[in-house]
């Protein structure tokens, strides 16, 4: 069998070059013409077959092993954010967008894994799908790719993905963070319209004040988390927008409330959605008003498969050593649409530490000064490549 660690280390300069190229052309959402073209060009140079325009801008590559076997997918997201970059890097973006979450590194590391695996496909038992996805930051590119058949022909049996950065502070530079179950929350949105009856602010008895009703609604919604969800179950309800009224002495006709709900459990998620509307309905009606309520289910909770993760930990030991592997004890309430892939097949989503205080790389994700330590790129590539090889070898067809 080939040495993925050695191969990845030899590619380090190439990984950095790819990442810097991608960093200069960040694109937002599902339409990523320049980024997708760049990935397609590199896959063509490697001689890897691929399909374009899967889920609008997604790319699916396929590496067929010499022997028949199962199929494992490796996924990376490619999109950036609508943030003006302020890193001062020599390769900083100048188009008004920014790779402020490390997706440029994800794409580069998957290209590296693709190169290693393709050069050694005669030693593989099964197939490897390379999933380059758009729209992770919104509106979501995983589900459109799945709907377009990204996990079929051949059917994907397992999936592996990673996230670089500093989301989990306990993971050191070049270290690996794993979780054996719930890791990230759902990404849901709600919109509430509290309907009253406008009137003069000096004569509130002649109308129905939606601002006062809204205050009661907002306070009551928080009791779902504090009094109805088990304290050991992570959940959040956040009001992000309140819009209502145009003058200091006028009671408006309505108030609009917009926010997000997060939970790491599907059951808790559904309970929150149900109870929110019940509370809104009862408070508005009880205070002589009315309401409109919309709850939109977004990305589902991200749940890793325990058995797959156990196997991946053995892989990670070969790459970084057991001492550099951290079990993530508490999930983040952030969200990731990798969750859609993990709903369909077993797999794991792991974290690669890439902050470095000594180098001044400390800015958080989604910040205009965000950066990652490029020295860890070979680690991510080796983990993706070795993880795929090990899973195929363990789960070969009988």
pLDDT digits (tens, 9 = 90+) for 121-175: 999 999 999 999 999 999 999 999 999 999 999 999 999 999 999 999 999 999 9
Per-residue pLDDT, averaged over 175-188, amounts to 97
What's the mean per-residue pLDDT of the chain? 97
200 in the same domain as 88 = no
* Helix ranges restricted to H, the chain: 4-10, 12-23, 33-46, 103-119, 142-147, 210-223, 266-286, 306-320, 338-344, 377-394
pLDDT at 398: 44
| Percentage of the chain exceeding pLDDT 70 | 99
Per-residue pLDDT, averaged over 317-338, amounts to 96
pLDDT at 395: 82
Of 231, 266, 299, which one is at a domain's C-terminal end?
299
306 in the same domain as 294 = no
**Which tokens in the block code for residue 233?**
């179950």
78 in the same domain as 9 = yes
CATH number of 239's domain: 3.30.70.360
265 in the same domain as 316 = no
What is the pTM assigned to this prediction? 0.94
306 in the same domain as 160 = yes
Known catalytic residue at 357: no
Pairing of strands 49-54, 58-64: antiparallel
370 in the same domain as 226 = no
Q: Which residues pair with 163 in a beta bridge?
A: 351
Does residue 396 have a pLDDT over 70? no
Does residue 95 have a pLDDT over 60? yes
Cα torsion 85, 89, 90, 93 to 10°: value is -20
**Which tokens in the block code for residue 194?**
């509290």
Does residue 397 have a pLDDT over 90? no
For residue 237, give every residue at least 6 positions away whose Cβ sits within 8 Å of its Cβ, in sequence order, or none. Answer: 221, 222, 224, 225, 259, 260, 261, 272, 276
Of 299, 331, 363, which one is at a domain's C-terminal end?
299
> Distance (Å, rounded) from C-alpha 398 to C-alpha 395?
9
247 in the same domain as 194 = yes
- The terminus-to-terminus CA distance of the chain in angstroms comes to 20
> Distance (Å, rounded) from C-alpha 248 to C-alpha 236?
32
- Specify the number of domains making up the chain: 2
Burial 33-64 (b: 16+ CB within 10 A, else e): eebbebbbebbeebebebeeebbbbbbbbbbb
**Which tokens in the block code for residue 166?**
């500093």
> Distance (Å, rounded) from C-alpha 349 to C-alpha 252?
47
342 in the same domain as 275 = no
**Which tokens in the block code for residue 241?**
């927008």
226 in the same domain as 143 = no
Known catalytic residue at 209: no
Angle at 138 between CA 133 and CA 142, to 5 degrees: 35
2: confidence class by pLDDT, cuts 50, 70, 90: confident
Question: Tens digits of per-residue pLDDT, 9-26?
Answer: 999 999 999 999 999 999
243 in the same domain as 347 = no
Domain residue limits at 270: 187-299
Please identify which of the residues 77, 85, 104, 136 carries the catalytic annotation.
Answer: 136
H, E, C per residue of 245-277: CCCCCEECCEEEEEEEEEECCHHHHHHHHHHHH
Q: Do residues 42 and 130 make contact, with C-beta atoms less than 8 angstroms apart?
A: no
Sign of the CA dihedral 353, 356, 362, 363?
negative
287 in the same domain as 158 = no
Of 299, 333, 358, which one is at a domain's C-terminal end?
299
Per-residue pLDDT, averaged over 366-372, amounts to 98
**Which tokens in the block code for residue 380?**
């991510």
176 in the same domain as 87 = yes
Phi and psi, residue 61, nearest 5°: -100, 160
Please identify which of the residues 27, 77, 79, 209 carries the catalytic annotation.
Answer: 79
Q: Which residues pair with 160 in a beta bridge?
A: 74, 348
Question: Tens digits of per-residue pLDDT, 69-89?
Answer: 999 999 999 999 999 999 999
Pairing of strands 254-263, 187-195: antiparallel
Question: Tens digits of per-residue pLDDT, 19-75?
Answer: 999 999 999 999 999 999 999 999 999 999 999 999 999 999 999 999 899 999 999
**Which tokens in the block code for residue 309?**
């993760």
> Distance (Å, rounded) from C-alpha 24 to C-alpha 36?
14
CATH number of 98's domain: 3.40.630.10
Question: Tens digits of per-residue pLDDT, 248-279?
Answer: 999 999 999 999 999 999 999 999 999 999 99
């Amino acid at each position: 069998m080939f040495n993925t660690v050695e191969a990845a280390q030899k590619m380090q300069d190439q990984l950095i070059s790819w990442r810097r190229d991608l960093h200069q052309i960040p694109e937002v959402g599902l339409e990523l013409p320049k980024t997708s073209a760049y990935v397609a060009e590199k896959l063509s140079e490697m001689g890897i077959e691929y399909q374009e325009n899967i889920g609008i801008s997604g790319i699916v590559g396929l590496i067929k092993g010499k022997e028949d076997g199962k199929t494992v997918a490796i996924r990376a997201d490619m999109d950036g954010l609508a943030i003006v970059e302020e890193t001062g890097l020599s390769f900083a973006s100048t188009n008004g967008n920014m790779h402020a979450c490390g997706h440029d590194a994800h794409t580069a590391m998957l290209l590296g894994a693709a190169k290693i695996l393709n050069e050694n496909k005669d030693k593989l038992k099964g197939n490897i799908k390379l999933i380059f996805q758009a729209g992770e930051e919104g509106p979501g590119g995983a589900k459109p790719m799945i709907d377009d058949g990204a996990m079929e022909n051949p059917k994907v049996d397992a999936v592996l993905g990673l996230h670089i950065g500093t989301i989990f502070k306990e993971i050191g530079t070049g270290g690996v963070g794993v979780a054996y179950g719930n890791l990230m929350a759902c990404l849901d949105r709600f919109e509430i319209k509290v309907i009253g009856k406008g009137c003069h602010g000096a004569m509130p008895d002649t109308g129905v004040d939606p601002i006062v009703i809204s205050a009661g609604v907002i306070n009551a919604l928080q009791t779902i988390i504090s009094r109805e969800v088990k304290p050991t179950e992570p959940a959040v309800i956040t009001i992000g927008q309140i819009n209502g009224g145009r003058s200091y002495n006028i009671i408006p006709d309505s108030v609009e409330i917009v926010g997000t709900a997060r939970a790491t459990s599907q059951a808790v998620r559904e309970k929150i959605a149900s109870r929110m509307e019940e509370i809104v309905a009862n408070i508005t009606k009880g205070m002589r008003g009315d309401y409109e309520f919309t709850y939109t289910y977004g990305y589902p909770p991200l749940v890793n498969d325990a058995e797959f993760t156990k196997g991946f930990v053995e892989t990670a030991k070969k790459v970084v050593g057991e001492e550099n592997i951290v079990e993530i004890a508490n999930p983040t309430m952030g969200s990731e649409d990798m969750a859609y892939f993990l709903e369909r097949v077993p797999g794991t989503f792991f974290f690669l530490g890439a902050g470095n205080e000594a180098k001044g790389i400390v800015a958080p994700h989604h910040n205009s000064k965000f950066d990652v330590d490029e020295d860890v790129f070979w680690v991510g590539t080796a983990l993706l490549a070795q993880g795929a090889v090990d899973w195929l070898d363990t789960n070969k067809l009988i």
